[in-house]
Structure formats: structure tokens, C-alpha cells
Amino acid sequence: MRLILMGPPGAGKGTQATFVADHFGIPAISTGDIFRANVSQGTPLGVEAKRYMDAGEYVPDEVTNSMVRNRIAEPDAEPGFLLDGYPRTVAQVHELDAMIEATGHRLDVVAVLTVNSEELVQRLLQRALTDGRADDTEDVIRRRQEVYLEQTAPLIDVYRERGLLVEVDGMGEVGEVTGRLFAALDQRSQS
């Protein structure tokens, strides 16, 4: 199973990614988590990425693409993987296509979590209180939503046209959303 979990910042991708990945026995690969681990370890990649993350901007494609290429080449990702937070630009879509094609596999499904914008901001402000992420300030939250709408939302149509898209209602309790995701993805993986 090779799948992408999409949705705007605050849609619950990170929370749901772990459940879905466990369900299918594949690793959840979050580019945001890999960047944050590099930032906290002070690696050159982390120093580079932090400049963009703190401003709510995307890290340049060449940095992000090679990081993902290396990660999905690791042995645990051989049976499949779930991508959380990648691809985020049309250029990354093409890079990912090439990466998967090179392994002789194909992308199975793209699940997008839909959540209304008022709820997104509320969730992110709540997360700011509990998780202490550097990019959860009000200005940066707003900028991340704008960047998502400009650069990432168009990917939904790209994957819809390929017949890979599954839209899942991301409103409500975590467990309810997980149930909807499992139902939609199980149906998809059996078809």
C-alpha cells in the first residue's frame, strides 16, 4: 500500500497518519516530523529548513525531494508507506511519480481530509497551547493556510483526475475520523 494523506494544516493528518499506517502495517513518513527532528538535532538540513518553517513557507523542493527519496529507499518502506505532508507542490508530485516508478510500484490512493476553515484555526490555536510548535503562532498559521491554498490545494484536482482521490470528512472526534478513513481506504484497497 502506497498512500498519501493530504489536507490543510490542522486537518489532523499527523494524528490520523499513525493510525492508518499501523492499520496497513507500513511506516508513516512525515516530512514535517523529519524536518523538526533535524531542527532539534541542529543538522545542516535542520538549519536550512528552520528558516522556511518559522515563516510558514515551504522548504525548497530540492531539499525536500532528496530527503523523501532517501527515506522511502529505506528497507521498512519496501512493502509500502504513508506520506504525510508530501507532496505539497506540483513539482513534488512529479518527483514522487518518478521515485515510485523507479521502484516498479504505483501510488494506490490519495486521501484528503476536509475540515472547515474556522475549525482549522481553532485546532491550530489549541495545538499551540499543548505542543509548543514554533510555527503555531497566529501570523504563521495564517501564512501556512495561504501557502496551502496556493500551492497544495491544486494537487487535489491532479489526483482526482488520476482517479486516486478519496475525500474523507475530517470534522468531529479523532476516533470518528479514523473510522471513516479506515472504511474509505479498506474499500479502496479491496477494489
Residues of this chain that bind ligand AMP (CB under 6 A): 9, 31-32, 35, 52-53, 56, 58-59, 64, 85-86, 88, 92, 135, 144
The dihedrals phi and psi of 179, each to the nearest 5 degrees, come to: -60, -45
| Residues identified as active-site | 13, 88, 127, 133, 144
Strand order in the sheet with 2-6: 28-30, 81-84, 2-6, 109-114, 165-169
Q: Residue 144 has which C-alpha cell?
A: 501556512
47 versus 183: smaller Cβ distance to ligand AMP: 47
Q: How far is the CB of 57 from ligand AMP (least distance, A)?
A: 6
24 versus 35: smaller Cβ distance to ligand AMP: 35
80 versus 151: smaller Cβ distance to ligand AMP: 151
16 versus 64: smaller Cβ distance to ligand AMP: 64
Q: How far is the CB of 133 from ligand AMP (least distance, A)?
A: 8
Q: How far is the CB of 102 from ligand AMP (least distance, A)?
A: 19
Q: Which residue has the CB atom at the shortest distance from ligand AMP? A: 32
Q: Residue 80 has which C-alpha cell?
A: 509500502
Q: How far is the CB of 186 from ligand AMP (least distance, A)?
A: 25
- Report the 3 state secondary structure along the chain: CEEEEECCCCCCHHHHHHHHHHHHCCCEEEHHHHHHHHHHHCCHHHHHHHHHHCCCCCCCHHHHHHHHHHHHCCHHHCCCEEEECCCCCHHHHHHHHHHHHHCCCCCCEEEEEECCHHHHHHHHHHHHHHHCCCCCCHHHHHHHHHHHHHHHCHHHHHHHHCCCEEEEECCCCHHHHHHHHHHHHHHHHHC
67 versus 109: smaller Cβ distance to ligand AMP: 67
Q: How far is the CB of 190 from ligand AMP (least distance, A)?
A: 29
